Chain A
Amino acid sequence: MTIQHNKVLQKPETFYDTFVRKGDSELKATHYCPGCGHGILHKLIAEAVSDFGIQDKTVVVSPVGCSVFAYYYFDTGNIQSAHGRGPAVGTGYKRANPDSILISYQGDGDLAAIGANEIIQAANRGEAITVFFVNNAIYGMTGGQMAPTTLIGQKTTTTPYGRNSHSEGFPIRMSEIIATLEAPVYVERCMLTDAKNITKTRKAVRKALKAQIDHKGFSFVEVLSGCPTGWKMTPQEAKNWIDSALSKYFVPGVFKDVIEEREPIIIKSEKPSPEDYHKLMGLSHLSEKEDIVPTPKKNSFHEELKIAGFGGQGLLSLGYVIANVAMGHQYEVSWLPSYGPEMRGGTANCSVKISDKRIGAPLVANPTTLIAMNKPSLEKFVNDVVSGGTIIYDSGLIDTPPSRNDVTVIGLPATEMADKLGSTKAANMIILGIFAYLKKQILSDQYIRRALPRILKNKAFHDINQKAFQTGFDYADKHV
């Protein structure tokens, strides 16, 4: 007769046959102490992974703590992570490889202390991962220090007089916390004591993994587990202490189970061909012919602009347009804003450099042209303008004209003029018209008109931008 394998309970295939990564001669036994709960949970997980037939696509993230070496045992893909960061590592992995099954295996220090944020956030995003959380109320690997789940009065090497709530606070109940979040689909606390509870844990492990296999989202199983060494007890005493103390504070139970109600989320992303990338990024919307003035670089040209005023006057945009236009004429350009909080109200300015040669420093210290749209800006930069340069300022907003007689000064009430056209926001385009007129030997005004809708894409302003540009251009024709 053929023997049925399910008639034999033996080391699941998801364990390595020999634990060669341990690097010692003990190739069949774990590094865990006698009676340690980790081994029991490992076995339940390995069995479930084998039974579900997901061994090849499973990746286990090992934490820092006693189970740091989980990769010695699980014959799956393995990633060892930094202390507490398993859920973040798992998130990155699963996002990059959504077809995998990702297990984050963590202890109480790892998950509830140093990694408390990572677990909460991964749970809250509903990452499609499964977290197994071994709560043994102590730091095992480092030699028995207090864990965030250490009970009040429990003695550890860092609470030698017993944990005191006035000093160390209270043990943290992670399952309860995670169950309050919207995204997780399954949260249960179990314990590894007697046959009945181990069976419950076995079911919980399988249910949590099944939820991930079915694309239901984030599942979390907390396991109260014995640490005879850390607790300085025999394995039997440890088991009894879970029963009589630990499980009284960390009460086992299902805290959340909405697996059935949740629809599966299957991530299928379209992967366009790289040939289409330029188009997708908006880098190929115009042909070269349309975009470039065909007779460039006839002129030696060097211009340094400082454009300054209130945030919201569109001055960074003005600089952007000028730089774009000059680039269309195949000049070298740079545009540099004053950035950060200044942009959000208050004053704003930008530096634009245009040159027929490679541009060095992008910051304009001594502008050849200053465009000042408010008084503080004019005052700040007026003396920086090079002798023989140009100052364009809004005479409607600035009552005292610049006190320089070695520069060309053009004052016009640009904002008022723009207001008459229908929007004060178009003042910048009036100034553009002025600037274009001044540089008409070098920059084609026809090109500017043609390029404007491409550079400033907001269609609502296309008409008024053209009108304002013309207004400025005409004004300069008459007055300059």
Chain B
Amino acid sequence: MKKVLMKGNDAVVRGALLAGCQNYFGYPITPASEIAEGSALLFPKVGGTFLQAESEIGAINMLYGAASSGVRCMTASSSPGISLKMEGISYLAGSELPCVIVDITRGGPGLGNIAPEQGDYNQIVKGGGHGNYKLIVLAPNSAQEMCDLTMLAFELADKYRNPTVIMADGTIGQMMEPVEFPQPVTSFPKKDWAVKATAETRENLISSIELDPDRLEVHNQKLQKKYAIIEEKEVRCEEYRSEDAEILLCGFGIVSRLLQSVVDEMRAEGIPVGMIRPITLFPFPKKIIDVYASKKNVRFFNVFELNNGQMVDDVRLAVNGRKPVFYYGRMGGNLPTIKEISGEIMKNMRQS
């Protein structure tokens, strides 16, 4: 099949349309704006709707409305905009509305900058909004995955009636790479729960409120069961030259691309390094890490992130004290160099 050289952000738009997404609501923000611009260009061509909302709050609530009708719909933003969307995200999770939210992360806190940071891990993976909810979180590391995982995001969102997030840093969004576009999705799950403004669905209600503590608890328990199923069935993880590795590098998104280069370089020098890349941040690949953590030949884990150490908490929980877990991070939108990373690993090798 033919490849097209394309930005990750543009691949997201195409992937969404190929997945049958019909409605886009968003607000411009660097480095995610190409997604709004591409959507403005292409959604009308497939008979869909693009609407530039008044704010991130407007956009996420429009998503709530559209998702209530059962259509596939999405929004995209970047870190500060995602912070603003958090209220709506909690409501979407509570009302179990399937939709796709794309977060092209940038530097924070506050206005921060537009350079690639991964400081959104906690707000996306651990909540951010209030309540006992989980989002399905996919972390692409290439333009191809920006397309493929966006399509997958729609599938998972519908399958579990759960908002699903594509979390990629600005580098992945802005980078161009060859992308092969799959065939469009033509069959969609039935959504009997949706409010479709028809006689058959008139009885349906989309709501996140439940005053009675017992009933709200039941609702929450139901959600937790759903999340447990997602953890059981939907983990996706790339293991790169990790089988015989004594040192396991761990990173997601653009960092995993750096780690891949590091692994190749250090392997060439005979150092047994491998990489684990979580593709799903929720569900987190704890069982996979668990397997490595119990392997005798594994000396330590080394987590690299573009933040103050957020995913490392999940790695430590999975490793559960069996092996040392080292962390190295850059902030402010700086990417570590290959040398910097391998230097860090060498230092830890001496220490452990």
Q: Do chains A and B touch in the complex (CB under 8 A)?
A: yes
Instruction: Give A residues with C-beta under 8 Å from B.
Output: 21, 23, 55-59, 61, 68, 71, 75-82, 85, 88-97, 99-101, 117-118, 121, 269-272, 274-275, 277-278, 280-281, 283-284, 286, 288, 291-292, 320, 323-324, 327, 332-337, 339-341, 358-363, 365
Docked pose: A63 CA to B181 CA in angstroms: 42
The yes or no answer to B168 lying at the interface (CB within 8 A) is no
- B184 partner, pick from A90, A275, A292, beta carbons under 8 A: A275
Indicate if the CB atoms of B57 and A80 lie closer than 8 Å. no
A-B complex: 4 closest residue pairs judged by Cβ atoms: A92-B65, A360-B261, A92-B62, A100-B197
The yes or no answer to B349 lying at the interface (CB within 8 A) is no
Indicate if the CB atoms of A274 and B184 lie closer than 8 Å. yes
Chain A residues positioned under 8 Å from B211 (CB to CB): 23
Indicate if the CB atoms of B195 and A91 lie closer than 8 Å. no
- A288 partner, pick from B2, B73, B206, beta carbons under 8 A: B2
Indicate if the CB atoms of A88 and B174 lie closer than 8 Å. no
- A360 partner, pick from B87, B198, B257, beta carbons under 8 A: B257
Q: Indicate whether A335 sits within 8 Å of B66 (C-beta atoms), given known contacts A95-B49, A96-B23.
A: no
Indicate if the CB atoms of A269 and B47 lie closer than 8 Å. yes
Chain A residues positioned under 8 Å from B181 (CB to CB): 278, 281, 283
Indicate if the CB atoms of A88 and B61 lie closer than 8 Å. yes
The yes or no answer to B58 lying at the interface (CB within 8 A) is yes
Instruction: Give B residues with C-beta under 8 Å from A.
Output: 1-5, 14, 17-18, 20, 22-23, 25, 30-31, 42, 44-49, 51, 53-55, 57-59, 61-69, 71, 73, 87-88, 91, 95, 114-115, 170-171, 174-178, 181, 184-186, 195-199, 201-202, 204-209, 211-212, 215, 254, 257-262, 264, 335, 337-338
Q: Besides A77-B195, A274-B186, A360-B338, 20 other CB < 8 A contacts?
A: A56-B198, A57-B197, A61-B65, A71-B205, A80-B206, A85-B58, A91-B58, A96-B65, A96-B66, A96-B71, A97-B69, A100-B69, A269-B44, A269-B49, A272-B47, A292-B2, A320-B176, A335-B177, A360-B260, A362-B177
Docked pose: A118 CA to B87 CA in angstroms: 14
Chain A residues positioned under 8 Å from B3 (CB to CB): 327
Docked pose: A320 CA to B174 CA in angstroms: 12
- B205 partner, pick from A80, A121, A333, beta carbons under 8 A: A80
Q: In angstroms, how far is the closest chain B Cβ from the Cβ of A131?
A: 14
Indicate if the CB atoms of A59 and B195 lie closer than 8 Å. yes
Chain B residues positioned under 8 Å from A341 (CB to CB): 114
Q: In angstroms, how far is the closest chain A Cβ from the Cβ of B91?
A: 5
With both beta carbons as reference points, the residue of chain B lying nearest to A365 in the complex is identified as B337
- B69 partner, pick from A58, A96, A277, beta carbons under 8 A: A96
Indicate if the CB atoms of A89 and B14 lie closer than 8 Å. no
With both beta carbons as reference points, the residue of chain A lying nearest to B264 in the complex is identified as A360
Indicate if the CB atoms of B175 and A335 lie closer than 8 Å. yes
With both beta carbons as reference points, the residue of chain A lying nearest to B25 in the complex is identified as A92
With both beta carbons as reference points, the residue of chain A lying nearest to B18 in the complex is identified as A277
Q: Indicate whether A327 sits within 8 Å of B178 (C-beta atoms), given known contacts A91-B51, A117-B54, A121-B58.
A: yes
Indicate if the CB atoms of B5 and A324 lie closer than 8 Å. yes
- B206 partner, pick from A75, A76, A78, A339, beta carbons under 8 A: A78
Docked pose: A58 CA to B278 CA in angstroms: 44
Indicate if the CB atoms of A118 and B61 lie closer than 8 Å. yes
With both beta carbons as reference points, the residue of chain B lying nearest to A77 in the complex is identified as B195
Docked pose: A278 CA to B180 CA in angstroms: 11
Chain A residues positioned under 8 Å from B212 (CB to CB): 23
Q: Is the interface of A mostly helix, strand, loop or mixed?
A: mixed
Q: Indicate whether A286 sits within 8 Å of B66 (C-beta atoms), given known contacts A277-B46, A281-B17, A320-B176.
A: no
Docked pose: A432 CA to B80 CA in angstroms: 39
Q: Indicate whether A337 sits within 8 Å of B174 (C-beta atoms), given known contacts A92-B62, A117-B58.
A: yes
Chain B residues positioned under 8 Å from A76 (CB to CB): 202
Docked pose: A21 CA to B210 CA in angstroms: 10
Docked pose: A121 CA to B199 CA in angstroms: 31
- A96 partner, pick from B22, B53, B199, B259, beta carbons under 8 A: B22
Q: In angstroms, how far is the closest chain B Cβ from the Cβ of A332?
A: 8
Docked pose: A361 CA to B61 CA in angstroms: 37
Indicate if the CB atoms of B197 and A118 lie closer than 8 Å. no
Indicate if the CB atoms of B30 and A340 lie closer than 8 Å. yes
Docked pose: A269 CA to B195 CA in angstroms: 21
Docked pose: A97 CA to B49 CA in angstroms: 11
Chain A residues positioned under 8 Å from B215 (CB to CB): 23
Chain B residues positioned under 8 Å from A358 (CB to CB): 260
With both beta carbons as reference points, the residue of chain A lying nearest to B265 in the complex is identified as A360
| Residue with the highest number of chain A CB atoms closer than 10 Å, among B47, B199, B262 | B47
Indicate if the CB atoms of B65 and A89 lie closer than 8 Å. yes
Docked pose: A61 CA to B338 CA in angstroms: 53
Chain B residues positioned under 8 Å from A75 (CB to CB): 202
Q: In angstroms, how far is the closest chain A Cβ from the Cβ of B158?
A: 15
Docked pose: A61 CA to B206 CA in angstroms: 9
Indicate if the CB atoms of A274 and B185 lie closer than 8 Å. yes
Q: Indicate whether A271 sits within 8 Å of B258 (C-beta atoms), given known contacts A57-B198, A82-B88, A336-B176.
A: no
Contact sample, A vs B, 25 pairs, CB 8 Å cutoff: A23-B212, A61-B65, A71-B205, A77-B202, A78-B204, A81-B65, A85-B61, A88-B64, A91-B51, A96-B49, A96-B69, A97-B197, A269-B47, A269-B48, A269-B49, A275-B184, A278-B184, A280-B42, A280-B46, A283-B2, A291-B2, A320-B176, A324-B5, A336-B175, A363-B335
Docked pose: A442 CA to B288 CA in angstroms: 42
Docked pose: A360 CA to B202 CA in angstroms: 52
Chain B residues positioned under 8 Å from A71 (CB to CB): 205, 207
Docked pose: A93 CA to B68 CA in angstroms: 7
